[in-house]
Structure 1
Amino acid sequence: MSIRGVGVRTPDVLIIGAGAAGLMAAMTAARRGKKVVVLDHAPEAGRKILISGGGRCNFTNKDIKPECFLSQNKHFARSALSRYKPADFLALLAAHKIAWHEKKLGQLFCDNSAQDIVRMLLAECEASGVHLLLDVRITDVSRAEHFRVQTSAGEFSSPALVLATGGLSIPKLGATSFSYDVARRFGLPIINPEPALVPLVFGREEESWVRELAGVSLPVKASCGKIAFEEALLFTHRGLSGPALLQISSYWRSGQPVRLDLLPGQDIGQHLAALKAAKGKMKGAAALHRWLPQRLAQELARQFTSDRPVVEWSDKTIRALAEHIHRMDMHPTGTEGFAKAEVTRGGVDTRALSSKTMEAERVPGLYVIGEAVDVTGWLGGYNFHWAWASGHAVGQALGSA
């Protein structure tokens, strides 16, 4: 496969987007004998793969379940996920002798580098005859008998067009609204794209103390409505981040509070009552520092006790402080936006697509996969697995056509 080769002009399958989903779709369809061309405006393939997981790519999660994916059509992801499991991707890694390891919560990472994943996908594409053209600008997409795509590398025509250009997250990597624009042109509805897995910001004066704790981290339980996650929280110069808040951000809507339990699984009220009963002279900040980071302990002591010794605290003060620590309602005023979002929530409405083939029900030959569709996974390898599963689903469907 020549990365910058001219390729064929009339492939069986034309894929726009050389990311995780696009490359998986390409190699899967090509293995089944289809002539496949992949186009991308970026100068290299798999740019989002390369920066993921701190450069080691959290490529899947061993505990993939449909319940870990958000969509307005909540059962849509089941079909693709049932037909491509974490074990299938691990078998691919084994065939390429790529070492990996498990971190917390079932997250699977490369031992070496995310480059291993990109090289593997490109090797699979090359072995199956995929033509990959990079640094190609697309100027028009139309459809008569076949789809016609005008580009800076000339015109391409194909009976099957796959949109795999992702969502709007991380625009510095070249994210655009391309898939949404083309989908709209062919009458597909779009669920409003919004940042997901994104830090939350706070602008209310009474919550300005949050920004003063930038850099402080601790394990918490964060909840929004009926959903909750127990992971790390990180205070930032603009608000809150860390895995727990990134997870909750996918469920948060403007105007909703986010509830924090700063000591999940403990009872700070009992701890403080025991300290008071012991009649020690320990002051509030020092006492709270037994269970909480020092700067956070100092801030809570400032808000509730003026750092008086615990023995002087009233039972009412202890109850109020315990309530605040275990059920702290925060009121985000927004998010850090697509620039800091790991993925996009929303996208092409899955009710317009076949859950088995990813094909548009009313536009035969048009397929949409990966982050471009309204399926958003949890943090921890779920979104990459959706890319593999949806790409595999469309590759299988095209390969059997």
Structure 2
Amino acid sequence: MADHDAIILGAGAAGMMCASVGGQRGRQVLLVDHADAPGKKILISGGGRCNFTNIHTAADRYLSANPHFVKSALGRYTAQDFIALVERYGIAWHEKTLGQLFCDGSARQIVAMLAEECAKGGVTMALGQSVSAIEHGDGLFRVTLGDRVHRAPALVLATGGPSIPKMGATGFAYDVARQFGLSVVQPRPALVPFTLGPEEALFQSLSGVSAEVEVRWNKTRFREAALFTHRGLSGPAMLQISSYWQHRTPINVNFLPDRAADWLLAEKRERPRTSLRKILAQALTERLADTLLERIELQGEIGNLSDKLLRQAGAKLSDWAFVPSGTEGYAKAEVTVGGIATAGLSSRSMEAAKMPGLYAIGEAVDVTGWLGGYNFQWAWASGWAAGQAI
């Protein structure tokens, strides 16, 4: 005998969305989380202001083994739909850059809104409780919390991926998925800073320096700020490209994305008596120019340098190769690439084909958005889709 219509594991963005939508459709929903309060990852997002969506949301801004999988859910619950919900609650917001929307106040407003939406749907919350066993039989999932067994015909996996383990994140969703015959695409940290090896130690002196760059890996490019750290490379541009990067391959950085290929030759004609260092310091910053010039090994008045050498210097500055030694791992990763394979899920309802009644949503699934609110929009859209189906 079922005591709920659906049990949702994980009271984060996707889980709360799913619970509120299901509950408001009249379903008896139990929302479970091992944390003592809902939405913990939401609270730390966007520097505490929650970059809750992106107005440029589109399928091509997501990584997945099946890039078409996201289209149905994103098309049925859009950024505008979530904005409308935020505005119904009177939460003030602003666009920062590149379509990124943030709360004017605090991320707590988003968590409070979702908690209120769950309350409107009569959702039962079981917080601070760990799942000790999950079984299935006679069309019901049996979830053991402490010494109590809860039964429901629908079970939703919304426990995210292993990013930010200090907040209690684990690969729990993958274990449950495998238990019921679903496959998992090998997970790895994404939206994560790079580390550089000892041969790049020169750049450690730049810790704290940032610059607007274009970073490239294969054919994928991002133009945003890059930040040098004492361990390597960070900043939005680096976090973005990290989701695509594969181990032991180079990333290429254009330090002067607004300059023409032969800009140094033009400078030579216009001000031949000026030192190359001064010209680069004006185009970049002194610290960055000095460090790059140390590698290029060119100095003196620009008029005394051959066109060939200047062309080579310009080419290097616009396509500087770094080979990261690795990344800072799940501890610093905002999200996870990989996860429960989309091939086994319905793109419309998020239900598992092999296991009717089992759903997977949000970051637990092999769908990863760009930096800038895209992962939240996937959480809302996939949570809404499953909430309509449970």
TM-score normalised according to structure 1 size: 0.94
State yes or no: 1:222 paired with 2:215.
yes
State yes or no: 1:86 paired with 2:79.
yes
How far apart, in 2, do the equivalents of 1:227 and 1:352 lie? 28
Q: How far 1:256 sits from its partner (Å)?
A: 1.9
State yes or no: 1:307 paired with 2:307.
no
C-alpha distance 341-158 of structure 1, shift in aligned 2 (>3 A): same
For residues 320-364 of structure 1, give each alpha carbon's deviation from its aligned partner in whole angstroms, at most 9, with x where no partner exists.
110111111211121110011010000000101111110110001
State yes or no: 1:180 paired with 2:204.
no
Q: Is the Cα contact below 8 Å between 1:304 and 1:317 reproduced in 2?
A: no
Correspondence list, 1:1-400, <5 A: 10-145=3-138, 146-152=140-146, 154-203=148-197, 205=199, 207-267=200-260, 269-270=262-263, 272-278=264-270, 280-398=272-390
CA RMSD of superposed structures (Å)? 1.4
Letter in 1 for 2:149: E
For residues 255-279 of structure 1, give each alpha carbon's deviation from its aligned partner in whole angstroms, at most 9, with x where no partner exists.
2211111111212632x22333345
Letter in 2 for 1:390: S
How far apart, in 2, do the equivalents of 1:323 and 1:383 lie? 35
Q: Is the Cα contact below 8 Å between 1:168 and 1:344 reproduced in 2?
A: yes
Q: Secondary structure at the match of 1:391?
A: helix
Letter in 2 for 1:337: G
C-alpha distance 95-153 of structure 1, shift in aligned 2 (>3 A): farther
Q: Is the Cα contact below 8 Å between 1:305 and 1:313 reproduced in 2?
A: no
How far apart, in 2, do the equivalents of 1:156 and 1:225 lie? 49
Letter in 2 for 1:230: R
Q: Is the Cα contact below 8 Å between 1:285 and 1:300 reproduced in 2?
A: no
Letter in 2 for 1:120: M
For residues 29-79 of structure 1, give each alpha carbon's deviation from its aligned partner in whole angstroms, at most 9, with x where no partner exists.
011110001010001110110000010000000011011111001111111
Q: Secondary structure at the match of 2:249?
A: coil
Which segment is superposed worse, 354-363 or 303-312?
A: 303-312
Q: Is the Cα contact below 8 Å between 2:189 and 2:333 reproduced in 1?
A: yes
Q: Is the Cα contact below 8 Å between 1:136 and 1:153 reproduced in 2?
A: no
How far apart, in 2, do the equivalents of 1:280 and 1:356 lie? 64
C-alpha distance 240-198 of structure 1, shift in aligned 2 (>3 A): same
C-alpha distance 125-315 of structure 1, shift in aligned 2 (>3 A): same
C-alpha distance 279-95 of structure 1, shift in aligned 2 (>3 A): closer
Q: Is the Cα contact below 8 Å between 1:284 and 1:305 reproduced in 2?
A: no
Q: Is the Cα contact below 8 Å between 2:177 and 2:183 reproduced in 1?
A: yes
Question: Unaligned 5+ residue runs, structure 1?
Answer: 1-7
Hey, what does 1:4 align to over in structure 2?
A: none
Aligned residues: 389
Question: Unaligned 5+ residue runs, structure 2?
Answer: none
How far apart, in 2, do the equivalents of 1:18 and 1:276 lie? 61
Q: Secondary structure at the match of 1:149?
A: strand
C-alpha distance 52-169 of structure 1, shift in aligned 2 (>3 A): same
Q: Secondary structure at the match of 1:212?
A: helix
Letter in 1 for 2:16: L
Identity %: 51
Hey, what does 1:5 align to over in structure 2?
A: none
Letter in 1 for 2:350: M
How far apart, in 2, do the equivalents of 1:97 and 1:9 lie? 38
How far apart, in 2, do the equivalents of 1:192 and 1:248 lie? 18
For residues 267-305 of structure 1, give each alpha carbon's deviation from its aligned partner in whole angstroms, at most 9, with x where no partner exists.
2632x2233334544323222011001111011222234
Q: Secondary structure at the match of 2:57?
A: coil
For residues 373-397 of structure 1, give each alpha carbon's deviation from its aligned partner in whole angstroms, at most 9, with x where no partner exists.
0000000000000000000000001
How far apart, in 2, do the equivalents of 1:18 and 1:279 lie? 62
Q: Is the Cα contact below 8 Å between 1:11 and 1:158 reproduced in 2?
A: yes
